[in-house]
Amino acid sequence: MSATPLDIGGVMIPTTTPFDPVTGEVDVVALRDNVGRWARSGVRGMVIGGSTGEAVYLDEAERERSWEVVRGVLPDGMLMVAGTGAESLRTTLRLTRMAVARGADAVLVQPPAFYKGAMTPAVVRDHYVAVADASEVPVILYQVPTRFSTLDFPTGLIAELSTHGNIIGIKDSRGKLETVAELVTHTQRGFQVLVGSGALLYASLEIGAVGGILGVANLAPRECARVSEHFAAGEMASAGALQKRIGALHNAVVGGMGVAGVKYALDLLGYHGGVPRPPLRPLAEARHGEVVACLGRAGLQVRSALAHA
């Protein structure tokens, strides 16, 4: 268990997972290349094994290998947060131990939600307390977007969990500023609130959030990081100008097209995007031009010949 609080402020990238187009296996060479490029952008760290990374489609060995590869690429001082949430407590604890062994600085834990009706606040509280008690690294709660199969955390539950010494923050992906404000107001002093919506980063910082884990940071890592940096430096006009660019890109591509859109955009930007793992489908060809236009409006340089195909 962590002796001192871990600072998770700033912007982290919930990285996509590239797959080999022939075998369908995780392409660790492509993952290494992407992370190496992202690491030079000024972001605080990487989250490996989140929703944008299609973690629900990865087996345990694939998650473990991804953590190992990423830890080997990240420079000293850059955080690696591992997504270790699973439906059972047993599996969550095992994944957490595996992540720690592979160098994770913290774990991001989504709630068990399949038996949704049985997941009362008391059950969920006990689940997280058990994970936090056992984990050798700090735990970050993950409020998964409510459009997915998940739970909607009551603010009172988060406030209660925020008093645990090894639960240091939450990634809230509900996309509601009023909820962010509730979390900042009602949680323990020092509890760190991160947002999951790139459209809300600047506004969330204004009301006390410390940063974000942003899907749009896969595409615009430097711009997302600089929103946080400019805000911290009191350069509000600069932060606001960048926020307009990344907010529109988030709404159109991340929010509007999901993983398939993010991956196609990565291909256009010269990263390794590729296609999602089935049953998710690639982005429909009819929407390709839409992504090109969105990237252009965000001021991002399209590098791939795909844009002209």
Residue 306 has pLDDT above 90, yes or no: no
Interval 136-156 mean pLDDT: 94
Give the pLDDT confidence of 55-92 residue by residue, as tens digits: 999 999 999 999 999 999 999 999 999 999 999 999 99
Residue 212 has pLDDT above 50, yes or no: yes
Interval 19-33 mean pLDDT: 97
Domains of the chain: 10-235 (3.20.20.70)
Q: Does residue 171 carry a catalytic annotation?
A: yes
User: Exactly one of 116, 171, 244, 263 is catalytic; which is it?
Assistant: 171
Give the pLDDT confidence of 96-117 residue by residue, as tens digits: 999 999 999 999 999 999 999 9
Instruction: Give the chain as a DSSP string.
Output: --SS-----EEEEE----B-TTT-SB-HHHHHHHHHHHTTTT-SEEEESSTTTTGGG--HHHHHHHHHHHHHHSPTT-EEEEE---SSHHHHHHHHHHHHHTT-SEEEEPPP-TTGGG--HHHHHHHHHHHHHH-SS-EEEEE--TTSS-----HHHHHHHTTSTTEEEEEE-S--HHHHHHHHHHSPTT-EEEES-GGGHHHHHHTT--EEE-GGGGT-HHHHHHHHHHHHTT-HHHHHHHHHHHHHHIIIIIHHHHHHHHHHHHHHTTS----PPTTS-PPPGGGHHHHHHHHHHTTPPP-SGGGG-
Residue 2 has pLDDT above 50, yes or no: no
Of all residues in the chain, the percent with pLDDT exceeding 90 is 94
Residue 305 has pLDDT above 70, yes or no: no
